[in-house]
Structure 1
Amino acid sequence: MNREILRLAIPNIVSNITVPLLGLIDLALMGHLNSEVYIGAIALGGVIFNFIYWGFGFLRMSTSGFAAQAYGKTDTTETTTVLARALAVALFAGIIILALQLPIAWAGFEVIGGSDEVKTLAREYFLIRIWAAPAALSLFVFSGWFLGMQNARYPMIIAIAANVINILLSVLFVFGLNMKSEGVALGTALSQYAGLLLAVVLFMKKYRQLLVHVHPHLIFNLKRLTEFFRVNTDIFIRSFCIILVFTFFTSESASTNDTILAVNSLLIQMLLFFSFFIDGFAFAGEAMVGKYVGAREIAQLKKVVKLLFFWGTGLAAAFTLVYFSGMNIILKLLTSQKEVIQSAQPFLVWIIFIPLASFSSYIWDGIYIGATASKAMRNSLLISAFLVFAPIYYLLHPVWENHALWLAMFLFMFGRGLFQTLFFKKAILKAQ
């Protein structure tokens, strides 16, 4: 079973790692320009896309869980219908987002703090990148479906190709055409459509024969749609809590000053960088747990949960060691601004230990998604966001200031894993 976990996890790690690497390269491109406001512009513009794309992350997660369970039942018609149903929702949502882009931009930048100069640049970034919404949401669906079909290789190929194109275009636009944050946005938008085209090509290469199972009356079956939206509503609420916490984190950073915004934007990338490694094992959990739930193999389900935590603990310990020994080197690679590097020093301790505090939350997310145990996952996030993060921050911020923000984030991540551990037996094992 370890071999099966690694077969799914390693391609997911490779594909996931291209995402934070892209974020780091974007920040590095901006960090070596002549002002810290460009880092802030990318960070603030990214916050709104976190709202949009993390909010619609249920399209990937639920598609993965439903497809994996159908795969475990060897129900070919349902595996195909899951893909068609989710793509229909993704394309519709993408069109709505494009139609509402100006109100979304206005509302987003009214809520988020930051200087006028940063906001102006961030708005330009947003209004270019938003045109990739239909492609980005459709890519969520294809990635989740391929994973549910126990195929981690195709999402890896798509992610690597799209992000390499993104990096090359961003470098070309920023250094070749003298564009700034808007060049990064344009590179991102074009690469999303390239990734979607590749996803369609790969689907047709391997799964073309499944198209005969696409039937409109099954796609829009009321019972299936009800279950689809029930699970997706829970996942949306779960994702919204995460978005709220991370958006609040960035907004409070921006309201302090541009230097703290730049510091926190760079440091939070280290948590996101770790998350895309650990999510490789979480995604493997989605596929394998979904398969065993669909096949009703409870002994195998328990075994894969145990092994996933074994791998997760080892990975978290490795990242803690790397961050302990090399954070200043990493910071110097990301920015040449000495004030930002110096201001980051008091807060490095949070980044060093956050992998150990957070790894279980990612592993449990994969397990719960595979089992489509969305209600308990939703509840764990509501508790962690509103009964852990918010009280800790508001109680300690008057004294600890930015340290209070980092402590609240640290305990939020730890709480997610703790509460899902407590819910596991009732939510998943007893439900089978």
Structure 2
Amino acid sequence: MLGRIIVLLMACHATLYLNFYIQKGLLLKRTQDWDVILGLSAITSATLLFTAALSKIRNLSYRLFFYSHVALSILLLPILYLHVSHLRIYILETVAVYALLILQRNISQSTFPATIHRIPHANLLTITIPLKEHFRSRTYSPWRHYSTGQHIYIGFPSLREKLRINPFTIAIPPSQAISSESLKLVVRSLSGTTAMLDQLASSANAHSLLTIEGPYGAAKYFPDLAEKYDRILLVAGGVGATFVLPIYQQVIATATAETRVKLVWAVRERGDADWGGLDGTGIGGERGGNAGTPTSAAVRRDIELYLTGATSPEGPRTMDDDDGIELQERSRPIIPNDDDKQDQVTSTKNISIKAGRPDFQKIVDEVFNDDDRGDSVAVLVCGPKGMGAALRSEVGRWVGTSRDVFWHSEEFGW
């Protein structure tokens, strides 16, 4: 929104000046002066920058959006500096802040020998990054600062690939890992950076050097969900579970018998959820999870796993067809495999497996309308924009009835 306001103000500035020159008969003369030439160059660059940021362009080519954004943002600074003298102090301030940001990000980046593996029967990778070997100080242990639900930036140490840096949610922070000295990520292999990570998983090297930066994210400042809220609804779409599952495990480990916890996870195929360890195995089952602690055994909880690749003749479509479970999966047809057809509606201990997309109206009403005590509710979602919007709409109906609701949304969108 701030970018749109800036471009709008620049366009108004240029339009009013050009109108003034036309009315005074100065247009031809002034368009040959350097201050006007630079001003028109600035508004053109800003318009191109705004156009490249449109959702259709971003979805068509993220790299085009990213590189044009960086290049045009930098190009604007000298153009505006030379445009008029009274702008120069603000441009110098901007350059100083930008330089400090680049310096800080480069200083905070560290290179680690990561282990990358493919997850069987899914287009997913696991990345394990050991931390102990690189931080031996007894007074400072950086892995203690990683929190559930935060994300880090992963890149490559070579100068040629310096700009290939992408954010990924921490699936298991060091505080929850068995060794407490490593962190784990789950990544869907698509194109660009993730394709390069997939190539590293195929290489003969046991370890691959990666740069990490972070952690970032508001999850560090979340309230104690298990202590402050009576009901907790966690919703994930695809690899959005890397954000939701650690929070689920943390809640289960600390909640009381009075707490009701519901986890909804939508994936394309059954194999896409195997890494989550909902049955106490796999990545998500290393700590917490259904294996849990004595406290977690008494918590009232249920898990619903939705297979969106399976066809379902019933049930409303609560998200636009174009939204999918992963933003990048729109071009792939939704065709169920044999395993999905066998799992139209099945159940295991505390887990219901259903075909199709989740009905958020029904899910939200069940969470809020379980009894009339007016319990406080926390709702957290991580998935594509359509999923977040659909869930927000349903939760909003209950917020309007003066219910105590904590809401947090992480989206794959822009």
Question: Shorter-normalised TM-score: what interval?
Answer: under 0.3
- TM-score scaled by length of structure 2: 0.25
Q: Which is strand-richer, 1 or 2? A: 2
- TM-score scaled by length of structure 1: 0.24
Higher relative contact order (CA 8 A, sep 6+): 1
Q: Which is helix-richer, 1 or 2? A: 1
